[in-house]
A and B are shown apart, each in its own frame.
Chain A
Amino acid sequence: MKDLTKTLRQISLSAWFGIVVVSVYILVAFFAPVIAPYGETEIVGGVFEPWSDEFLLGTDNLGRDLYSRLVYGARNTVGIAILTTLLAFAFGSLMGVLSATIGGWLDQLMGRSVDVLMAIPQLIFALLLLTIFGTSIINMILIIALLDSTRVYRLSRAAAVNVVAMDYIEAAKLRGEGLGYLIFREILPNITAPLVAEFGLRFCYVFLLISALSFLGLGIQPPTADWGSMVRESANLISFGEVTPLIPALAIALLTVAVNFIADWFLHRSTGLKG
Chain B
Amino acid sequence: MHASISSLVLNRLLLGVVTLFVISIIIFCGVELLPGDLAQEILGQSATPESIAAFRQQLGLDRPATERYLEWLLGVVSGDFGASLANGREISELMGERLGNTLFLAGMSALISIPLALTLGVLAALYRNTAFDKGTSICTLTAISYPEFFVAYILIFLLAQTGFFPSISNISGDMSLMEKAYRTVLPALTMTMVVTAHMMRMTRAALINLLGSPYIEMARLKGVSPARVIVRHALPNALGIVINVIALNLAYLVVGVVIVEVVFVYPGLGQLLVDSVAKRDITVVQACSLIFAMTYVLLNLLADVLSTLSNPRLIHQR
Contact = CB atoms under 8 A, between A and B. Distances in A.
Interface of A: 116, 119-121, 123-125, 127-135, 204, 208, 211-212, 215-218, 228, 231, 235, 238-241, 243, 245-246, 249-250, 252-253, 256-257, 260
Interface of B: 19, 22-23, 26-27, 30-31, 33-35, 141-142, 145-150, 153-154, 156-157, 160-161, 167, 251, 255-256, 258-259, 262-263, 273-274, 276-278, 280-282, 285-286, 288-289, 292-293, 296-297, 300
Given A133-B35, A260-B145, A121 B274 contact: no
Nearest to A209: B147
A124 B274 CA distance: 10
A192 to B, nearest CB: 25
Contacts of A256: 145-147
A120 B145 contact: no
Contacts of B153: 231, 235, 238, 245-246, 249
Nearest to A130: B277
A217 B278 contact: yes
Contacts of B263: 235
* Secondary structure call for the A interface: helix
B145 A204 contact: yes
25 contacts: A116-B23, A120-B293, A121-B251, A124-B255, A125-B293, A127-B273, A131-B280, A131-B282, A132-B31, A132-B33, A134-B280, A135-B278, A212-B148, A215-B259, A216-B259, A217-B274, A217-B278, A218-B277, A239-B167, A243-B157, A246-B157, A249-B147, A257-B142, A257-B145, A257-B146
Given A116-B23, A123-B256, 20 more contacts: A116-B22, A119-B293, A120-B289, A120-B296, A124-B296, A125-B293, A127-B273, A127-B274, A127-B285, A130-B277, A215-B262, A216-B258, A216-B262, A216-B277, A235-B153, A238-B153, A245-B153, A246-B154, A249-B153, A256-B146
Given A132-B282, A245-B153, A249-B153, A218 B274 contact: yes
Given A127-B285, A235-B153, A243-B157, A208 B147 contact: yes
Contacts of A246: 150, 153-154, 157
Contacts of A123: 255-256, 258-259
B275 to A, nearest CB: 10
Given A212-B149, A235-B153, A249-B147, A121 B33 contact: no
A123 B149 CA distance: 14
Contacts of A134: 280
Nearest to A257: B145
A124 B292 contact: yes
Contacts of A119: 19, 22-23, 293, 296-297, 300
Contacts of A121: 251, 255, 292-293, 296
A129 to B, nearest CB: 7
- Residue from A119, A125, A235, A241 with most neighbouring chain B CB atoms (10 Å): A119
Contacts of A133: 34-35
A114 to B, nearest CB: 12
B258 to A, nearest CB: 6
A128 B157 contact: no
A129 B94 CA distance: 22
A127 B277 contact: yes
Contact of A238 (B156, B273, B274, B278): B156
Contacts of A218: 274, 277-278
B286 A128 contact: yes
Given A120-B296, A134-B280, A246-B154, A128 B285 contact: yes
Nearest to A116: B22
B264 to A, nearest CB: 11
Given A215-B259, A239-B161, A253 B285 contact: no
B147 A125 contact: no
A215 B274 contact: no
A208 B148 CA distance: 9
Contacts of B23: 116, 119-120
Contact of A124 (B31, B149, B289): B289
A231 B149 contact: yes
A123 B33 CA distance: 19
Given A124-B293, A239-B160, A253 B150 contact: yes
B148 A127 contact: no
Contacts of A249: 147, 149-150, 153
Contacts of A231: 149-150, 153
Nearest to B38: A132
B147 A212 contact: yes
B147 A253 contact: yes
A263 to B, nearest CB: 11
Nearest to B255: A121
A204 B27 CA distance: 27
A270 to B, nearest CB: 20
A154 to B, nearest CB: 16
A124 B258 CA distance: 9
Nearest to A121: B255
A256 B142 CA distance: 9
Contacts of A243: 157
A250 to B, nearest CB: 7
